Amino acid sequence: MAVVGLVAFALVNANLQADGRPLVRVLWTKENREQAHDFERWNAFSRLTVDGDPATDGQLGMLIDSTAGTGLIRYTGDPDESDFLRADITNLAHHVRKDADVLVIGVGGGRDVLSALEFEQRSVTGVEINGDILDVTNNVYGDYTGHLDRDPRVTFVNDEARSYLARTDEHYDIIQISLIDTWAATSAGAFALSENTLYTTEAFDVFFDRLKPGGMLSVSRWFRTVGQDAPIETYRTAGLAAEALTERGVANPRDHMVIYHGPPGFYGNLISTLLVSETPLSDVDVAELGDQAERLDFTPVLTRHESIDPRFAEIAAPGGPDAALEGFAEDLSPPNDNRPFFFQMADEDTLFSRRLLNDSVVTRPVLVLAILALTVLGLAAVCIALPLIVARRTGRKALLQRGVVPFYTYFAGIGLGFLLIEIAQLQRLSIFLGHPTYGLSVSLFSVLLFSGIGSMLTERFVGAERRRSLVAPLVALVVVVAVVGWLTPRVIHGMDGATTPVRIAVAVAVMMPLGLVMGMPFSIGMRAAAARSGTPTAFLWGINGATSVCASVFAIVLALFLGITAAFTAGVLAYVLALASIAVIARSSSTAEAAAGDGPERAAATPEPVPVG
């Protein structure tokens, strides 16, 4: 009844929210007191708010999850209204690619789409994963933004950009990515902990495949923000581009890329734009970019003949960026799908470095994660070790009886293995599905459903009277986990061009065998423990819970610093520990049964005395 009541309340509040009269309102978001908004809408993975007066303001502010901002620009069709976009550093590519087919990743309020129209480009395709953003921009505020969707040159696509590009046959002169982040999945703004599908070498490979000969990929990131002493995002973006080019056989990446930053903007922040092409930039391109930069007061960061500092030149040098990036205290190695954390720039050697903290390179979420990892490890050790110490001192033998240690290692192994595997797969599916929220919901649904089914299936295979059946499910578990772990990257790579519903179905299919076999070990272990007299089953629950909490944190730590594959491998090893433990338990149980059976057999073989009388 309580669940039904909560669901009913949620539905009623959602309907009232649509009318602007919710029963429950948001009062605080991300450490800020909420104000009344002119427009507000929620969907499954984001909250949109719009503020400003359409009658008087030239631009309205749209916020995604209370922090990520984009602008709705007033446009009535008069080209003079959008002339200011010609001086925007994010539109640098339009100055050298005329009459172009443009693809914009992350439509937002339509600024980049309007920019393409301002430069009179042939066509523009805007890809936006959040359907509500498209609806707000083109329908709710369509009269204000000029109904860009009605322009015959414009096509809007509600899809994940990387998947869309992987399956489309279209090719483009410009692919534009302007300050796109994964805010919607990071309720605390924890960029460093969030996977990003766009800033990896594999993503750049997809982009290059969809560029026409001579086409340009335009990527705009922060060059320097308040509190930063170095352009770390731009360093990493340059390294990412150089690595992607090197992997495609380019000998000298510097001939294929340029970087400029614009004049100070909001709060003195600087934005840089990287232009990169698989074919070398022509002398005409280089000269035109130089002329436009001088006219618009753009500063050259890296060109064929200039470098704002030697590090950019070293990053773009022949042979790839690895050697140059090793000289940084920060971890600026090019992200890939195994470590898709573009904003995670601390490594294990420098995590607590005073210099990094002062430079704001180690963001608060990463530092909090490190502290949390140490905290849960300490608490787990206390929760497990303290009862054992007390039992030894007080003479309570239940926790210290002979043969109970394999049960401890078994439940610790399955606790670690379950969460390490689950979170590693969640991160892989976030890349595959294009959004961390999709990855979370699909992974949790699949794991909970199929692990529950797997737990029920143990009734068929394991019973108190079948001791030898304890090991077989764990052997199957280790084999299935290892095989699925090896296959998953290959399956999702082969299906990355499928539509979102198909990718969700593939993700569920990938998680199904894992869930089935991972749902069995706990029930198996509890049956074995319950059949053994005096085994402290409540303590085994506690060990499993404590190690699960540790695994949930350490899975993220391992993925951040060593990669998702490392976290998955750690889960496989934890299940190997559980397999070894259950083998010992099964052997000791079989030995005990045999010993118990010897007495009755011998008694039955001895003739009973015949009464006399």
What angle, 0 to 180 degrees and rounded to 10, lies between the N-to-C axes of helices 405-433 and 471-494?
10
φ, ψ at 367 (rounded to 5°): -65, -40
pLDDT in tens, 39-63: 888 877 778 889 988 888 888 988 8
At 124, list the tokens: 């523009």
The Cα–Cα gap between 492 and 428 comes to 9
Helices (H), 231-299: 232-247, 283-296
Phi, psi of 426, rounded to the nearest 5 degrees = -60, -45
Which residue has 């299906």 as its token pair?
A: 495
Residues of the chain with CATH 3.40.50.150: 76-345
pLDDT confidence tier of residue 597, bands split at 50, 70 and 90: low
Domain with CATH 1.20.1250 in the chain: 364-590
The pLDDT value recorded for residue 96 is 96
Residue 147 CB partners (closer than 8 Å, separation 6+): 138
Cα atoms found within 13 Å of the Cα of residue 179, Cβ hemisphere only? 19
CA distances from 451 to 58, 308, 516, 521 (A): 54, 55, 5, 10
209 band by pLDDT with thresholds 50, 70 and 90: very high
Instruction: Tell me what pLDDT residue 58 has.
Output: 83
Q: Distances in Å between the alpha carbon of 415 and those of 84, 463, 485?
A: 57, 22, 18
Average pLDDT over residues 81-90: 94
The Cα diameter of the chain in Å comes to: 128
**405-433 helix and 500-518 helix, angle to the nearest 10 degrees:** 180
Q: How far apart are CA 605 and CA 607, in angstroms?
A: 6
Task: Look up residue 39 and give its DSSP letter.
Answer: E
Asked if the model's pLDDT at residue 361 lies above 50, the reply is no
63-67, 119-123, 586-590, 593-597: least confident range: 593-597
- Which one is predicted more confidently, 431 or 126? 126
Q: Which CATH number fits domain 76-345: 3.40.50.150, 3.40.50.300, 3.40.50.261, 3.30.70.3040?
A: 3.40.50.150
pTM, rounded to two decimals: 0.85
The answer on pLDDT for 569 being more than 50 is yes
Dihedral sign for Cα atoms in the order 301, 302, 303, 309: positive
CATH of domain 364-590: 1.20.1250
CA angle 88/92/98 to nearest 5° reads 120
Would you tell me how many other CB atoms lie within 10 Å of the CB of residue 460?
8
Per residue in 246-255, pLDDT tens?
999 999 999 9
From 398, 370, 399, 368, select the one nearest 385 (Cα to Cα): 399
pLDDT tens profile 409-464: 999 999 999 999 999 999 898 888 877 777 788 888 999 999 999 998 887 766 54
